Structure 1
């Protein structure tokens, strides 16, 4: 749910639209549009500072802060974040506290989101974390909050952000509440939720089984990770050797496909727990959880690329590190670039760091200091499980053959312009019952299990969520520990604190080391012999059987890591750290390694011809080779059409063959001008529709990401698989080539309508577009004149899902019978760090540093980002001053 949906459902009246139209039409002169713009120059008072803090901004408004103490540094960071991004911060804290309706009014979607988030208790957990943190961390968080509040003091909502003026036309906008240090901690929960591991796959297995009743068919949708074809992060020598051999044989095996795994995940022999309408409770749970907004994004496209190359392969003799997190596009963008510098580093002020921050949190999330650079990608380790609970009307639930009492608490949701709503939240020992949130979910699970028939009047099934982020932790300590790390030991110590979200950390040092470290709080799951479902976390678990309970967590000291591998290259792009069969503790649901392998192959090709530099790393980030096309097009080229195939149609063979000819010399690159890329994307969407839609629930249709590439690869080798058959044609059993042919025909017809009759005129960029959308005032739901003002211009993009330049789109998104190729996930920023000369590093953000639409920095990086370009990234004081455009001095 977007903020725009919230605003729409709150209902903008005609009077509001007319007022907004007036505001936008006179934006150049209307004072309250420009009123929120902050002063970036001169001198300002910041009570509580121990000394003066300099804020030096470059031509893109990116600030570098210089202070004498850490508390002054973070107080100034809070002030600067509030200057440029306060509405974004305020929206985020309302979201994470389950208080959206308090901000936007009685919108159904906002109330539902609040109910789900309150049920999970994000804010409650954040409050519990406070006492666990190091005293220094609490000091930094408090200083940051003081800086935010100093900026808020004596400023009305309309002088803080235009968004408050707009909202004030519909709901009551009161004085802004002070920022609390826990507001920063709560944002970690939103991060963790958007980057949580496999809860979608867990529910999808259950849903697919509920439709097919066939464990083997479900397994074909979740094939084993192809470790010999797509290397894991830390490959074995045997995997590297097999990978090289497969590459050498690629031409001869390109069109053969591979066999899909036909066994149930985890070696299950049965799934009796899912043979009844228990699956309905799980489906309703998914619907409830879907109501939670995803500020970072969700789904297949959410991931990242990161890699590090040792000095033995570089021009300078020292490492290069690259990172580009793939998240949801928005304006303002998710990241805020900044430098945090102690004028003299030491125990009292240890920070000299620059990179990408989150507005609302102190510190740097991804970046480098004077000694070490680091990149993050989502580890996607399985950190959550759904437990089916047998509940009873007397407030108990079944566990280990007896009854346990449900715990309950009541919370009140305040609604701006509406009546308060009381919410009763029930929990078991496995966690909060998320299936209680909506009326439909409460009614979903009334059917008994075949093995455990409850007495008449039983409460039926409920679904509880176990998730590591619902236990208080010390991830905020880890942020500051990484900011001051100098080597592998420091990173390992920081990773032990970095509990959620689970992330891959790649790093490089000015001493010449490169390394990888897996952090995270990872549950231990015991094997269950003769269980009703696998106990590996891949399926929902029976809550009444204690054998399925978590048995603690993996010891951080035992998590995988490496320093200076022989290859001199580490690539982490959401693929498994180690092949899942070798290391099952992280689960089995990862990206299938296509991006990672493409990066690895490109680096290998480059270093064979000589040492590489930062420019080559940026070229790799822009790579647009499509692995789905590499897998499927060789098979599609063998499809032949003759006129007799169209005897009952107005079409003819030439009409389709004209499009099919686009594949003859295609290099599989999805650049904006490629006609073949446009045709393949449409074929891919239609193939997934024709193959799977008839046998999967609507909420679980194929998204088209890497798992679906691997699943289709396996099905290509099984021309008679039941997945090819269309259940709607009762007297016909379709086979592979019939489905492939129909996909080619349907795609040709669809693109003729959308892009024109001549396939040579088609362009991928003509349909694959991005419009960065304001999270509250943008989107189709807002009045067009408002959205046009708040959103950035539409850009044509190359790339696609499971491509290194990961401008993703969803194959399950269709509009009026046509695939929708609109971009849904992007490289939210790009950076390349040169450890030989930190001032030679480069970076770019999706939009700009400011959240104020009237600012010149609202979207001043967007054009360069869309073109794959980057900017110089100054770090040393001399480089920062050379790039200086404005200087603000904050004084006590």
Structure 2
């Protein structure tokens, strides 16, 4: 059996171009100008005239004006940015899927990944009938090593690479080229031997987070930043997933009904961590509204359709996490030595806690929804 989760690897990078003086469509590499190539692309439009756009291509890829609103990349008289996307020429995903369809063991899964190298954006989690487990973050990623990023990042790249894994390299230097791994089937990408892999542990689990806590007892480290982070705070989904799957592996002897119960447990890790603390502080925040405090305290910490209190907690939790920075939400901070159980203990003294709770109660009452209404009666 095998499955995929969304991986944290960044499947692209940028090259900052130093433009030739007086010619914004030429750029310098080792001091010598290279002309961009103009491409005109026409797209038919149903019920209207075709739309034509001009692209300008470099040795690195097309010039782009930004990566969304968060990262504008203006094309000026002296600077432009080119996008390197190794998956633009990757048509091997179907070969990978065919290899998986023929696989009869985790060894076959690993061999299909090694041979085809076709997955742009997902991890692979697998287990077989012989008791072997397997995890691989086998993504097609630009070959950005931490050494290359340290040596070749522009000032913008020195900010974006540590924070998000988006590398911005100096496109004016040929010694900043990505290079190749000998086991990679495509130039400029990582080969399988450089990717995070874990084999034959009692469990492997991933919840769209980095590879670090695939197994909390054997954290994966040593991979480049572009693959994802290590020793940083995990999502509540990851923490809950590790807790649940590790407990199942410890128990052993699992049956189909065990898996069914886990699939439909609908446990809310945020509730396990925060609901009791919120209920204790509620009396101070809402001294004249004991019903709200009772509902949060009595909630069973699940999000079943008949769960009473789940709706109120959900509205509170969304407001609290939107208003309070992550570092201020808990009184016990994150520790890389205890990453599944930290941070914990809700910071009810945080600015924003009182407003989040009172606004959640007011929101439901304004909508005419009882505070202890079953979740399924109002969220579907």
Q: TM-score with structure 1 length normalisation?
A: 0.34
1:423 match: secondary structure: strand
1:766 to 372, 377, 380: 377
**Separation in 2, partners of 1:635, 1:548:** 52
Structure 2 residue 197 is the aligned partner of structure 1 residue 561: yes
**Shift of residue 681 of structure 1?**
1.4
**Separation in 2, partners of 1:505, 1:444:** 33
Q: In 2 relative to 1, CA 718–473 (structure 1 residues): closer, same or farther, beyond 3 Å?
A: same
**Separation in 1, partners of 2:134, 2:17:** 43
Asked if structure 2 preserves the Cα contact closer than 8 Å seen for 1:386 and 1:464, the reply is: yes
Q: In 2 relative to 1, CA 413–608 (structure 1 residues): closer, same or farther, beyond 3 Å?
A: closer
Q: In 2 relative to 1, CA 433–763 (structure 1 residues): closer, same or farther, beyond 3 Å?
A: farther
2:134 match: secondary structure: strand
**Separation in 1, partners of 2:89, 2:39:** 17
**Separation in 1, partners of 2:239, 2:51:** 51
**Separation in 2, partners of 1:436, 1:422:** 20
Partner of 1:573: 207
**Separation in 2, partners of 1:683, 1:445:** 40
**Shift of residue 538 of structure 1?**
2.3
**Separation in 2, partners of 1:597, 1:619:** 19
**Separation in 2, partners of 1:515, 1:542:** 34
Partner of 1:10: none
Alignment of 1:432-511 (within 5 A): 432-435=62-65, 445=74, 458-459=76-77, 462-496=80-114, 497-511=116-130
Higher relative contact order (CA 8 A, sep 6+): 1
Q: Which has the larger radius of gyration?
A: 1
Partner of 2:364: 751
**Separation in 1, partners of 2:271, 2:172:** 45
**Shift of residue 375 of structure 1?**
1.9
RMSD: 3.7
Structure 2 residue 46 is the aligned partner of structure 1 residue 416: yes
1:430 to 34, 41, 60: 60
| CA shift digits 1:301-339 (9 cap, x unpaired) | xxxxxxxxxxxxxxxxxxxxxxxxxxxxxxxxxxxxxxx
**Separation in 2, partners of 1:586, 1:618:** 36
Q: In 2 relative to 1, CA 555–606 (structure 1 residues): closer, same or farther, beyond 3 Å?
A: closer
**Shift of residue 755 of structure 1?**
4.3
Alignment of 1:655-734 (within 5 A): 655=289, 657-691=290-324, 712=326, 715-717=329-331
**Separation in 2, partners of 1:493, 1:619:** 33
Structure 2 residue 214 is the aligned partner of structure 1 residue 587: no
Asked if structure 2 preserves the Cα contact closer than 8 Å seen for 1:631 and 1:713, the reply is: no
Deviation >6 Å, runs of 4+: none
**Separation in 2, partners of 1:715, 1:462:** 40
**Shift of residue 744 of structure 1?**
0.6
Q: Any gaps of 5 or more consecutive residues in structure 2?
A: 180-187, 213-218, 334-347
Structure 2 residue 267 is the aligned partner of structure 1 residue 625: yes
1:737 to 329, 334, 350: 350
Asked if structure 2 preserves the Cα contact closer than 8 Å seen for 1:580 and 1:587, the reply is: no
Q: In 2 relative to 1, CA 627–431 (structure 1 residues): closer, same or farther, beyond 3 Å?
A: farther
**Separation in 2, partners of 1:586, 1:764:** 40
Alignment of 1:30-41 (within 5 A): none
**Separation in 2, partners of 1:556, 1:542:** 23
| CA shift digits 1:232-267 (9 cap, x unpaired) | xxxxxxxxxxxxxxxxxxxxxxxxxxxxxxxxxxxx
**Separation in 1, partners of 2:113, 2:196:** 11
1:506 match: secondary structure: strand
2:165 to 538, 542, 564: 538
Q: In 2 relative to 1, CA 444–600 (structure 1 residues): closer, same or farther, beyond 3 Å?
A: closer
1:616 to 250, 258, 270: 258
**Shift of residue 613 of structure 1?**
0.8
**Separation in 1, partners of 2:307, 2:178:** 50
**Shift of residue 408 of structure 1?**
1.7
Aligned residue pairs total 337
**Shift of residue 512 of structure 1?**
4.5
Asked if structure 1 preserves the Cα contact closer than 8 Å seen for 2:36 and 2:56, the reply is: yes
Partner of 1:233: none
Asked if structure 2 preserves the Cα contact closer than 8 Å seen for 1:495 and 1:518, the reply is: no
**Shift of residue 485 of structure 1?**
1.9
Q: Any gaps of 5 or more consecutive residues in structure 1?
A: 1-372, 447-457, 646-651, 692-710, 720-734, 770-892
Asked if structure 2 preserves the Cα contact closer than 8 Å seen for 1:668 and 1:677, the reply is: yes
| CA shift digits 1:666-691 (9 cap, x unpaired) | 33212222232111211122224434
**Shift of residue 390 of structure 1?**
5.4
Alignment of 1:717-866 (within 5 A): 717=331, 737-756=350-369, 758-760=370-372, 762-769=373-380
Q: In 2 relative to 1, CA 601–472 (structure 1 residues): closer, same or farther, beyond 3 Å?
A: closer
